[in-house]
Amino acid sequence: MTLTPTLRDTAFRWIADDPDESTRAELQDVLAKAMGGEAGAAAELADRMAGPLEFGTAGLRGPVRAGPNGMNVAVVTRTTAGVAEWLKAQGHAGALVVVGRDARHGSEAFATAAAEVLVAAGFDVKVFPKPLPTPVLAFAVGRLGAVAGIQITASHNPPADNGYKLYDATGGQIVPPSDGEIEHAIQAAPAAVSVPRAPGAEVVDLLDRYLDEVATLPMGAERAVRVAATALHGVGADTLRAAFERAGFTDLHLVGDQAAPDPDFPTVSFPNPEEPGATDLLLALASDVDADLAVALDPDADRCALGVRGHDGEWRMLRGDETGVLLGSYILSTVDRTLLPDPLVATTIVSSSMLGEIAKAEGARYAETLTGFKWLVRAGEGLVFAYEEALGLCVNPGFVRDKDGIAAATLAAGYTARLKAGGRTPLDVLDELAQRHGVHVTDQVSLRVTDLAVRGQLMAKVRETPPAELGGVEVTLEDLLPDADVLRLTGEGLRVVVRPSGTEPKLKAYLQVVAPVTGSLTEARDTANAKLNALRTAVDELLA
């Protein structure tokens, strides 16, 4: 690729409008290399200038680098100017906004820029004294009565990324049409160098109040439980330790090499508990200390994965659906029906349907929503629990309207302690649930793409020529457009949901097979897993 005059001039304009000296110099260097004909430089410059990053319901996420197609002070400044105008248009001029951050590269500078733009725009701005988990920010929005909250985080994305997550006055993440309105406001914002910024944000510390609330969760009286945990180099270790201490759990063992925040994530190639190898150090520690439970938080501690010792003595991580039904059934068993006679539990259309069977048996309401906690926390009145298969758990919707890995881990410790006192384990409960409601096995086929257009092409192919059968089972297609770009294929005892990821360059297919237990549980699981393997092969071919 060669450098065009248009690309060169666009880069010059961005450099002139960038208020940050370091990213100005960074982009100048790339531009100079492109002008000098260095191999690959023009293509890199074109990629950096291909933005701006699109503001969606997940906010912004992208690599930390100079240019409109990256996370940097200029992009954050213009984004926040757009958010400020949107808030004013909603009638919230001068109201309270809370800003938090994780410990990734650029997070402190980005949080400072966001806070200063809001102060200059006339808002009452409060910031945290240090990097803290995302659930603490979500808690603060509700507890302080803020009209918005901004968390600088890329959650479980690769180390090179950072992001910008926005909460509205409900305490939940934004939903359409807010994202589109904000995107238009950002487009109308002036160049970053012309956006006013001013100091003056007030530092507030709500961590103690958050921990007090976590300690009130229905954990029972037992505290004899040994837990191994990892923060995966994120910001969750100190808060998890404090939550355990506040709740009375004293036998916590952290993976030392992963406890301190480190934006380079040196021991994991991808800081997501779902990724192969990410929890190897955790499971080794759990085995070494003879733990009763293993806990993995993602880097901003809003997600929580649980690990258990299997019937064969080997440690393994539970799938998100296993954890979801385990904690969902427990939460329902603790609800005081005199205070809340009609509780609601919720999950998403891509998660296991077993939670619905559990709710039916418990006489509770059940809802399925589109993917994402922005929808789950809006599932309805009386919500007591929500989860999504991607390790998102909300065990505390009364004070955090989002997924909360800290609260989920603390509750799981209490539940495990209660089970241990009765001579049982989480796996025993999962076996009992399968016996009662059938074996539900789930899996995911994830296709990573370098060209996002490929996702749309594959979705179009399935829409135009849907399969008549998958894995030997006849299926019918349901298209969820225009509400969501989602395809659902269902047949006797199986379900496949296909959708583009909202946060990663992937096309995802979520698989479920359900088998009744008519004989032994082992036989039912073998049957279900055989059907799941056949289904996985069929879906691989479908998306090839």
Contact 259, 325 (CB under 8 A): no
DSSP reduced 3-state for 305: strand
| b/e per residue 193-214 (b: at least 16 CB within 10 A) | eebebeeebeeeebbeebbebb
Q: What share of the chain is helix, strand, coil (3-state, %, to 5)?
A: 40, 20, 40
Contact 430, 438 (CB under 8 A): no
**Alpha helices for 90-133 (secondary structure H):** 107-120
How far, in Å, CA of 211 to CA of 329, rounded?
A: 24
Active-site residue identified among 155, 178, 351, 353? 155
The sign of the dihedral angle between the CA atoms of 89, 94, 97, 103 is positive
Distances (CA, A) of 238 to 130, 204, 242, 244, 258: 12, 18, 6, 10, 12
| 155 flagged as catalytic | yes
| b/e per residue 346-373 (b: at least 16 CB within 10 A) | bbbbbbbbbbbbbbeebebbbbbbbbbb
Q: Mutual orientation of helices 405-421 and 207-214 as an angle, nearest 10°?
A: 30
Rg (CA), the chain: 24
Show the tokens assigned to 320.
Answer: 């998100």
DSSP class per residue in 416-477: HHHHHHTT--HHHHHHHHHHHH-EEEEEEEEEE-SSTHHHHHHHHHHHHS--SEETTEE-EE
Contact 487, 539 (CB under 8 A): no
Show the tokens assigned to 532.
Answer: 């799941």
How far, in Å, CA of 349 to CA of 496, rounded?
A: 10
Other C-beta atoms within 10 Å of 465: how many?
Answer: 9
DSSP class per residue in 19-35: --HHHHHHHHHHHHHHH
Residue type, 125: V
How far, in Å, CA of 509 to CA of 318, rounded?
A: 19
* Residues labelled as active-site residues: 155
